Amino acid sequence: MEDKHETKLEQIIKIEKQLGEIQDVDVLLEKILTETRKIVRADAGSIYVIEGNKLKIKYGQNDTQLKELAPGEKLPYSCFTFPINEKQICGYVASTKEPLNIKDVYKIPEDKPYKFNKNTDITTDYRTKSMYTLPLKMANGKLLGVLQIINAKDEHGKVIPFDSEAELLISHFASSAVQALQHAYLTSNMVKRMLKMAEFRDPRETYPHVERVSAFSLEIYDRWAFNHNIPESEMHIYRDTLKIAAKFHDVGKVGISDVILKKTFPRFTEEERNVMKGHTCIGAQLFDPPESNLDVMCQEIALHHHDRWDGGASGYPGKITLSQFSIADGVVPKAENLSGNDIPLSARIVAVADVFDALSHKRCYKDSWSIEDSFAEIQENAGSQFDPEVVLAFMQVKDRICSIQVAFPDDLEAPQ
């Protein structure tokens, strides 16, 4: 028994190192939930974050339900909030900031203020039994979120309660997870400040838009990586970087004149369009010289997300170096077209995500297209404007793309 405990601790220490390397908050939250469940063999779980006086679910996982899906598919994308109060188990833990271990949620004593809602179990034909819910709180007591894991299992797959050893292991791991979260939130806040600057310059470059493009890109990559048998370790690093870098695809618009940037009618002249194309080079220059893998990918995406898969003339900026572009001149120099796999994968993914979002949302110069028409347009341009394998992955995650659309409406305020 002692050897098993030491082995678990060694696993936790190894995972803690991985957590510290993750930069994106959402990717980190998903990883925390996944690894906590592994530590105590929990079948399911959810992780929530604090938004004002509410809890918002970020990720839900369920191995039993996942096994019923085809390989490569995911459970439905969840997005809902509820008030923090003592009527629900997560709300109770958030209010008291103390963990709660329940052996069987169907047998909660009547004198408890919280209840378990069986409706989800009934709808999904699942039996929630043991549940451990704990607050993710900083040393100063500030609450970052709530972690809930469900149905611990023994070595034979039988559902058991979370015992004292499980509580100890989870508690130890949670403290390291909170430290990693604090670091990731610092990165997240810096990213939001930079994006807010871009939004001040271009009202079309909204917080919901960049969040949707970022979330779409992650879903596309996950499916593309599955289709191409990418090793989990490589996938883990790439998706973390992509989630942040995708948000900077149009950050170069901060360097475009308001006369052009905010023009609505008539549309651009040829000269104005050429100046507008310069946002790709300006965005890439913001990360020059690159000092990390994140900087490299931010450059790739900013510079090449408008290049065409077929190397067509409407793609830009093509095969140029940043030294060829002058901000004073503002016009992208003519260069040999870039095509196919010469366009970085990250840029090929963001190209699909960005165009789909632009099509399916209203802009000052156009009405929104329907969701179905937007999907059809992307599919029709597979092999010409877009990488066909990226489009295939995009179409395979259609349901999750639609759910993300709902989760980040255009009237959503950026969190402060």
Taking only the tens of pLDDT, the chain with its 416 residues reads 555 656 777 777 778 888 989 999 999 999 999 999 999 999 999 999 999 999 999 999 999 999 999 999 999 888 889 999 999 999 999 999 999 999 999 999 999 999 999 998 999 999 999 999 999 999 888 999 999 999 999 999 999 999 999 999 999 899 999 999 999 999 999 999 888 887 777 766 678 899 999 999 999 999 999 999 999 999 999 999 999 999 999 999 988 888 888 777 767 888 888 889 999 999 999 999 999 999 999 999 999 999 999 999 999 999 998 888 887 777 788 899 999 999 999 999 999 999 999 999 876 556 789 999 999 999 999 999 999 999 999 999 999 999 999 989 887 554 44
Rg of the chain over all Cα atoms, to the nearest angstrom: 23
Q: Residue 55 has which token pair? A: 């809890």
Check if the beta carbon of residue 103 is closer than 8 Å to that of residue 161: yes
Give the bridge partners for 368, in sequence order. none
Single out the residue of 161, 142, 179 nearest to residue 28, CA to CA: 179
Cα(64)–Cα(128) distance, integer angstroms: 11
Check if the beta carbon of residue 20 is closer than 8 Å to that of residue 240: no
Q: What is the pLDDT of residue 1?
A: 53
Q: What is the pLDDT of residue 412?
A: 56
Rounded (10°) CA dihedral 230, 231, 234, 239: 60
Check if the beta carbon of residue 249 is closer than 8 Å to that of residue 213: yes
Q: What is the pLDDT of residue 203?
A: 63
Amino acid at 222: D
Single out the residue of 113, 116, 117, 120 nearest to residue 103, CA to CA: 116
Measured between alpha carbons, how far is residue 136 from residues 50, 142, 148, 182 in Å? 10, 9, 10, 11
Q: What is the pLDDT of residue 416?
A: 44
Say whether 204 sits in a helix, a strand or coil. coil
Single out the residue of 41, 84, 82, 85 nearest to residue 64, CA to CA: 41
Q: What is the pLDDT of residue 401?
A: 97
Q: What is the pLDDT of residue 204?
A: 63
CA 106 to chain centre: 33
Give the bridge partners for 133, in sequence order. 100, 148
Alpha helices in 202-292 (DSSP H): 207-227, 232-245, 258-261, 270-276, 279-285
Residue 44: phi and psi, rounded to 5, are: -150, 175
Cα(120)–Cα(214) distance, integer angstroms: 29
Q: What is the pLDDT of residue 56?
A: 95
Cα(94)–Cα(144) distance, integer angstroms: 9
Q: What is the pLDDT of residue 4?
A: 63
Q: Are strands 159-160 and 131-137 parallel, antiparallel or unpaired?
A: unpaired
Q: Are strands 42-51 and 54-62 parallel, antiparallel or unpaired?
A: antiparallel
Q: What is the pLDDT of residue 415?
A: 46
Q: What is the pLDDT of residue 413?
A: 52
Rounded (10°) CA dihedral 319, 322, 328, 332: 10
Q: What is the pLDDT of residue 6?
A: 63
